[in-house]
Chains A and B, each alone.
Chain A
Amino acid sequence: MTVAVNHAFPAGLALETHKQRALTSTILVLPPPGTAVLSLEQGFSGAVVEPVVAVGAEVAVGTPVAQPHDERATTLHSPVSGRVTAIEPRPAATVTGTATCIVIESDGRDRRDPAWRASADVESLSSAELVARLRAAGIAGLGGAAFPTATKLEAARARGARRLLLNGAECEPWICCDDALMREQAQDILHGARLMMRALEADSCVIAIEDDKPDAIAAVRAAIAATGPASGFAVQVVPAIYPQGAERQLATAVTGAEVPTAGLPADIGITCQNVATAMSVARWAREGEPCIARVVTVTGSGVAGPRNVLARIGTPLATLVDAAGGYCDTPLRLIAGGNMTGRALGSDDAGLSKAINCILVATAADLQPRLTAVELPCIRCGDCAAVCPVALLPQQLHRAALADDEAGLLAHGLWDCIDCGCCDFVCPSQIPLAHRFRIARRSLREREDTRRKAAEARERHERHERRVREAAEAERHAFEHARARARGLQSDQDRP
């Protein structure tokens, strides 16, 4: 491990990479699975979608099966043709390890939905129409967040970002699906990028690639040369420093400006999309294909033949592992994503989601010593602060997290933490820092929700009290009025 400084953001880590083995073969196209397991929670953000099909329904490839409540999730389309056999909780690649899933049994015919057709007018659509179509096609950020591309493009355009940044950095040490895509399908990536530029009304596009991917750089450069000089595309080679591929860090590397706290890269005039997302956009533009497939790296010392596969969303992870030669050695962890920011899964029955860019079958040798080591007290060595790419003080944050000190957590920038795990990696006491910060963020959010709910309850209670008081007053008035009238009548009668 060395701390490098010749790049735009502070610190970071120069990590040993393990990409070569999976890159020796080209992307393998997997057939549609016999059973597709579609999680209603595509990713780790907690955004869920609502099923729009019932158990027993016949679906075809591309039939929408679930719709989002808001603009933070994407429409899910059936990746196979067949019958919905269950909508029930199943193991899934989510924070809790389970989610309600739509299970679709394939009829093996791979029949397309009648509504699926390539739109001939793609090239003449306006920006707003293009965004609406991308939303309907369920296109999501395939870099690992699965955030709706349409929402992101819309927000970026509203904030005046006129520059597109294609993220081909891919800094996680094991993941190489974007590298493979750039080598093999650079033309398509540029096609998708052009459409996103139109949706954004952008005039230029930078494709940022780390310098340890010379083949990808050459392929993309060749594709740009083939499209002609006035295309607005440019390749920017960035140093291979983890976490170079993090959105904010990459935006800084390309523009030289820092993304403000609680802001978006759009605030510095640029918006970031993954190269795989551009590929997904190109497939939609060419064939009308909604987001039903993605390239995923299946790797680690625990699989016999690491490689990249193009698989339908919902393909059980066990099928993907089999496609990479099956398990070997003694796998310790099944990780969705890379070893730095990925999440351990409890079962390989889970289906592939839009957010999974890598299945890492890790053996003890692939993992840090942490798994076998015991967590020791913080010795305040400051190594974590020296590697933090956001220049936070993880040791101070950790102290505040242990003490549940809300003010301290906020003062030390908990919300600026990008969850990259650099601090974890270097901690000599094996403290799971990033994990603690994740929990702290969750509990802060919960507390914020509780406070908001309390404020609402107070307001409702005050309205209730006021109403009760007014009702009582009105009753008293009516009573007194009646009594006064009765008295009047009485005195009338008493008169001689």
Chain B
Amino acid sequence: MNAGAVVVACIVAAALAVAIGAALGWIAARVRRDENPLVERIDALLPQSQCGQCLYPGCRPYAVAIAHGEADIDRCPPGGETTIRALARLLDREPRPVDPRYGVPQEQPIVAWIDEERCIGCARCLPACPVDAIVGASRYLHTVIANECTGCELCVPTCPVDCIELRPGARLQTGDRARRAA
């Protein structure tokens, strides 16, 4: 065996290592997931009301906290029993009732409603709405798009004239045929 063959073998091996390394690096960058996939799955089960009753600033931060074991699954009053059971199944934990320190589940869905007689058009509630469900502008009457409102109540404390209240909201009904068409 001569020295030339050894050199060639080394060069080939090195070239292969570089090529494979580059390919792997490229693939990793291509298919890299920015987020923990568990966070996505937990987030998908949360009601997305973005109300902050769990003391996290929205559903996603709460999902991150659950995924990292920093928060328990019983902090979501809007999701209620259904959400807790789904989370328990996903995470293989015991289901339990909602911790009353974070709020009491609503019997039926609620939506914000603005008393247009009293609204002064101050626009303070607009940035407070996490889902942009309030329509209005400074010195114009505001109103809530009931269909988009998640009932998070975050707009209520921002109103200087207390003209926002929460009322039972109609649940959207879709028929069999709509389901089939989808």
Contact between A457 and B175, CB atoms less than 8 A apart: no
Contact between B174 and A461, CB atoms less than 8 A apart: no
| Cβ-based interface call for A50 (8 A) | no
| Cβ-based interface call for A463 (8 A) | yes
Residue of A nearest to B130 (CB): A461
Contact between B179 and A445, CB atoms less than 8 A apart: yes
* B 29-58 binary contact with A (CB < 8 Å = 1; else 0): 000000000000001001111100000001
Taking CB atoms, residues of chain B closer than 8 Å to A47 are: 175
Contact between A460 and B148, CB atoms less than 8 A apart: yes
Taking CB atoms, residues of chain A closer than 8 Å to B178 are: 72
Residue of B nearest to A70 (CB): B178
| Cross-interface CB contact of A46 among B58, B175, B180, cutoff 8 Å | B175
Range class of the B interface residue count:
20 to 34
Q: A72-B175, A448-B179 are in contact. Are A454 and B131 (CB under 8 A)?
A: no
| Cross-interface CB contact of A449 among B59, B131, B171, B177, cutoff 8 Å | B171
Contact between B131 and A457, CB atoms less than 8 A apart: yes
| Cβ-based interface call for A21 (8 A) | no
| Cross-interface CB contact of B50 among A45, A445, A447, A461, cutoff 8 Å | A461
* A 446-466 binary contact with B (CB < 8 Å = 1; else 0): 111110011111101101110
Contact between A456 and B148, CB atoms less than 8 A apart: yes
Residue of A nearest to B57 (CB): A465
Contact between B47 and A450, CB atoms less than 8 A apart: yes
Contact between A458 and B48, CB atoms less than 8 A apart: yes
Taking CB atoms, residues of chain A closer than 8 Å to B172 are: 449, 453
* A 220-243 binary contact with B (CB < 8 Å = 1; else 0): 000000000000000000000000
Contact between B180 and A262, CB atoms less than 8 A apart: yes
Nearest CB in chain B: distance from A323 CB, A: 33
| Cβ-based interface call for A128 (8 A) | no
Contact between A457 and B49, CB atoms less than 8 A apart: yes
A457 to B50, CA, bound (A): 8
Q: A461-B130, A463-B132, A468-B127 are in contact. Are A454 and B48 (CB under 8 A)?
A: yes
**A interface: dominant SS:** helix
Contact between B48 and A449, CB atoms less than 8 A apart: no
A263 to B30, CA, bound (A): 39
Contact between B175 and A461, CB atoms less than 8 A apart: no
A457 to B49, CA, bound (A): 7
Residue of B nearest to A449 (CB): B172
| Cβ-based interface call for B173 (8 A) | yes
Nearest CB in chain B: distance from A146 CB, A: 12
* B 69-111 binary contact with A (CB < 8 Å = 1; else 0): 0000000000000100000000000000000000000000000
Taking CB atoms, residues of chain B closer than 8 Å to A449 are: 171-174
A72 to B47, CA, bound (A): 30
CB-contacts of B118-152 with A (<8 A): 127, 129-133, 148, 150
A13 to B174, CA, bound (A): 32
Nearest CB in chain B: distance from A449 CB, A: 5
Contact between A72 and B173, CB atoms less than 8 A apart: no
Residue of B nearest to A444 (CB): B179
| Cross-interface CB contact of A72 among B48, B131, B150, B177, cutoff 8 Å | B177
Nearest CB in chain B: distance from A15 CB, A: 26
Residue of B nearest to A47 (CB): B175
Contact between A461 and B180, CB atoms less than 8 A apart: no
A47 to B177, CA, bound (A): 11
Contact between B48 and A461, CB atoms less than 8 A apart: yes
A464 to B50, CA, bound (A): 11
B interface residues, Cβ below 8 angstroms from A: 43, 46-50, 58-59, 82, 127, 129-133, 148, 150, 171-180
21 examples of A-B residue contacts, CB within 8 angstroms: A45-B176, A415-B179, A445-B173, A445-B174, A446-B171, A447-B82, A448-B174, A449-B171, A449-B172, A454-B46, A454-B47, A456-B148, A457-B48, A457-B49, A458-B48, A460-B131, A460-B132, A461-B130, A463-B132, A464-B129, A464-B130
Nearest 7 A/B pairs, CB to CB: A454-B48, A457-B48, A460-B131, A458-B48, A461-B50, A449-B172, A461-B130
